[in-house]
Amino acid sequence: MKVLIIEDERSLALEMEHFLKKERFTCDLAFNGKAAREIWCRQSYDFFLLDIGLPDISGLRLLKEIRLDHAEAGIIMITAKGDLEDRIQGLDLGADDYLPKPFSLLEMRARINAVGRRKFQINDFNIQLGGFVIDTRQRTLAYNAVKVELSKKEFDLLSFMALNKNRPLTRLQISEHLWPDSAMDDYDSNYIDVHIKNIRKKLQAYEPPDWLETVRGIGYKIHCID
Amino acid sequence: MHRLKLGTKLVLFATLSSLCIALLMILILPLFVKIVADRNTNAALRSQKSKVIKEIEANGLDYYLEGDSIYGSYSMLKDEYISIEPGNENQLADQIKTERRIVDQDTIVYRILTHTMRVSDKNYFIEIGRKISSISQDGRAMQKMALYVLAGIVILILLANVFYTRHLLRPLNYINTKLLNIKFPFTDTSPPVKTSTFDFKYLDQVISGLMVQINRDFRKEKEFSSNASHELMTPISIIQSKLENMIADASMRPAQVAKMEEIMRTLHRLKKIAKSLLLISRIDNDQYIREDTTSVKGLIEEVTGELHHRLVQKQLKLNNHLQQNVLLKNVNKVLLFQLFYNVLNNAIQYNKPRGVIDISDQLIGNQKYAVVIKDTGSGISEAQLPFIFDRFKRTTGASPDSNGLGLSIVHSIAQYHNLELAVSSDTSGTAFQIIFSNEHI
């Protein structure tokens, strides 16, 4: 998939590019609105990551223009202000989702994935982990077509890790994804450990989940060779 | 006296002072009357004397004495008398005195003029007297009259004072009402006071000026905290994305990755503070819409669902005693969720292990509805209770992970919705009461 990152903070844009390239996306960068226009006129993109607060052109105006040129593309707007007005207006103008700063790259990946699945009718809803299959559309886990019972949070945890497989995830990254609303909570890694323990126990009944690894000093990783 | 209104005080003072003056006047009136009456009587006596002397000179003394040595004559009602008798002493000047005389068994007080006259080498005393009782009767009548007149005047002064003071102080009342009704931030746009009194105009101008100044400063402060937290978001985003990429980098040594994980956690704390400040400033800047309708039961269930893992971890027992099926109107659901989340999160955080949390509710009359969240923690000391809603104020015993903003957010959300918060605490736990008025139920 081809992604155009429109972000005036070069440092941030470069990190986003770095992350997405590792995830096998093709990326181009534009550090302002004018440059972005020139780039998307020459080439077409599947995805736009658009910072709403650009110095030269209003992000909302660019959003309209992108929609005109790329009717089918996925557009995720990045907002620093997080103003409700901007957010609502952006979604009205055709953005598919929004990402408030500061965001985690993993969260960005998850949003791209969700929008992509919705827009491009990709049929790979399933993620294979050993003998287990995660159906991300039905939100179920199965082993040899037998449904494995998981709680909602356990399923969220497992699918988030599966989406970011082969990447060590810190307990904080996981807990931020599972409890995004906790605006003031003390971060305590303990419950992630409890959840992982429970998941392992449930999976163990079918097949040892060797692919679910503990990374010492950091957290966990799903290791699997495609 | 120090609780009376200015208007009452002014009227009271005017009335009392005019009353005092009136009383004083009534008291000294008889003296005045007496002085005036004496003077008049003296003059009358003197003119009578001149008449008598003229008569005697014209007719000769014997005309009156008729051979007798004494002459005396009373008017019919004994109001006046005249007497002539020989005297030995050489008295030259006239004398006027007040004396009692017994006339036909009546004791009558007379004002008497005594004149010495020399006729054919003999001295004669001429006495002319006038009854005094008639004079003092006049005085009393005048006193009575004066009492009525002055009482009337005092009442008139009182009425005039009441009306004029009321009129005069109307601008002050206007300013008072204005001050009573204003709520911070001052959005009051009532027109300046209409008055011809300089002092009130000045007072009104100064107060309005101060309100504008306070508003401006408050807005600046809000803008500052809003801008400052906005500006923090991008740098935090940059650092976070760099750390995330580095942690995923396979060439990193485990020790380095562990350090980065630590940095990430510290950054997370910074992020939470910035986000909380931004949330508070957004609430204070009226950036949320209060148009949702939500059920308390549903809201509490959502919150407890979100916090379930913490309850389990601390082995707390949560008793949901919610009885009323209350739908809250005109609220912002996201903010109310945050409010209950923060309160319940505190009840978990500061509870003892294996403690209890009770959630209950009650209708207070038809007008109010309260939700109570009670924990079995060690409580908040009385000295710290007034400060728990202050930003960054962490009470002793606060969790090291807390940033001291949780209850500030609760306070801002409550204020934004016009909710009352009541906290009571002792060593057996803390009860948090959130009270909704009829605007929401």
- On whether any CB of chain A is under 8 Å from the CB of B243, the answer is no
Q: Is B115 helix (H, G, I), strand (E, B) or coil?
A: strand
Cα–Cα distance measured from residue B271 to residue A167, given in angstroms and rounded to the nearest whole number? 23
pLDDT bin (cut points 50, 70, 90) of residue B431 is: very high
Q: Which residues of chain B make contact with A188, given a CB cutoff of 8 A? A: 313, 401
A223 CA: distance to closest CA in chain B (Å): 13
pLDDT number for residue B37: 81
How far is Cα B201 from Cα B391, in angstroms, rounded to an integer?
39
pLDDT tens for A143-186 read: 988 999 998 889 999 999 998 888 889 888 888 888 876 644 55
Q: Rounded distance, CA A48 to CA A74, Å?
A: 6
For the segment B362-380, the average pLDDT, to the nearest whole number, is 91
**Chain-chain contact of A187 with B268 (C-beta, under 8 angstroms):** yes
Give Cβ neighbours of residue B345 (< 8 Å, ≥ 6 apart). Answer: A182, A184, A185, B307, B310, B406
pLDDT value at residue B376: 95
Query: Which residue among B238, B244, B272 sits closest to A183, beta carbon to beta carbon?
Result: B272
Q: Which of A16, A194, A218 sits opposite B261 (nearest CB)?
A: A218
Mutate to test the interface with A, among B237, B240, B332, B346 (most CBs of A within 10 A): B237
pLDDT at B399 > cutoff 70: no
- Report yes or no: B107 and B100 within 8 Å, Cβ to Cβ: yes
Which B positions 351-410 lie with beta carbon below 8 A of chain A? Answer: 399-403, 405-406, 409
Among chain A residues, the shortest Cα distance to B285 is held by A83
In the block, tokens 């803008």 appear at: B223
- Predicted pLDDT at A61: 92
Q: What Cα–Cα distance (Å) separates residue A157 from each residue in A19, A197, A221?
A: 21, 12, 11
CA torsion sign for B100, B103, B108, B110 is negative
ipTM of predicted complex = 0.86
For residue B193, the 8-state DSSP code is P
* Interface contact flag, B309 A22, Cβ < 8 Å: no
Give the whole-angstrom CA distance, residue B84 versus residue B59: 15
8 Å CB contact of B271 and A102: yes
- Under an 8 A CB cutoff, do A12 and B248 touch? no
Query: Whole-prediction pTM value?
Result: 0.67
| Averaged pLDDT of chain B | 86
With CB atoms and an 8 Å threshold, state whether B230 touches A84: no
pLDDT beyond 90 at B184: no
> Among the listed ranges A61-65, A130-134, A170-174, B75-79, which one has the minimum average pLDDT value?
B75-79
B285 or B379: whose pLDDT is higher? Answer: B379
Mean pLDDT (whole number) for B44-57: 88
Name the pairing type of β-strands A26-30 and A2-6: parallel
Count, in order, helices (H) and strands (E) of chain B: 8, 12
- B326-365 pLDDT, tens digit per residue, is 899 999 998 999 999 999 999 998 999 999 999 999 998 8
Query: What pLDDT does A198 receive?
Result: 92
Work out the mean pLDDT of chain A and round it to a whole number.
87
Answer with the residue of higher pLDDT: A96 or B220: A96
Poorest-pLDDT segment among A134-138, A173-177, B1-5, B62-66: B1-5
Lowest mean pLDDT among A48-62, A76-90, B1-15, B157-171: A76-90
CA-to-CA dists, residue B195 to A71, B7, B201, B203, angstroms: 66, 16, 7, 11
Three-class HEC string of chain A:
CEEEEECCCHHHHHHHHHHHHHCCCEEEEECCHHHHHHHHHHCCCCEEEEECCCCCCCHHHHHHHHHHHCCCCEEEEEECCCCHHHHHHHHHCCCCEEEECCCCHHHHHHHHHHHHHHHCCCCCCEEEECCEEEECCCCEEEECCEEECCCHHHHHHHHHHHHCCCCCEEHHHHHHHHCCCCCCCCCCCHHHHHHHHHHHHHHHCCCCCCCEEEECCCEEEECCCC
- The pLDDT of residue A183: 42
Q: What is the pLDDT of residue A184?
A: 43
The continuous run of DSSP H or E covering B7 comes out as helix B6-59
pLDDT value at B57 more than 50: yes
Both tokens assigned to B266: 């510290």
* Predicted local distance difference test score (pLDDT) of residue B430: 94
Q: How confident is the model at residue B1 (pLDDT cuts 50, 70, 90)?
A: low
In angstroms, the first-to-last Cα distance of chain A is 19
Kindly tell me if the per-residue pLDDT of A75 is higher than 90.
yes
CB B258 within 8 A of CB A217: yes
Band of pLDDT at residue A95, cut at 50, 70 and 90:
very high
A216 pLDDT above the threshold of 60: yes
For B394, phi and psi rounded to 5 degrees? -105, 125
Option in A22, A82, A190 nearest B313 (CB): A190
Q: Do A80 and B338 touch (CB under 8 A)?
A: no
Cβ atoms of A7 and A13 closer than 8 Å: yes
Reported confidence tier of residue B284, pLDDT bands at 50, 70, 90: confident
DSSP codes joined into one string, B325-378: -PEEEEE-HHHHHHHHHHHHHHHHHTSPTT-EEEEEEEEETTTEEEEEEEE-S-
Candidates A202, A210, A198, A152; CA nearest to A178 is A152
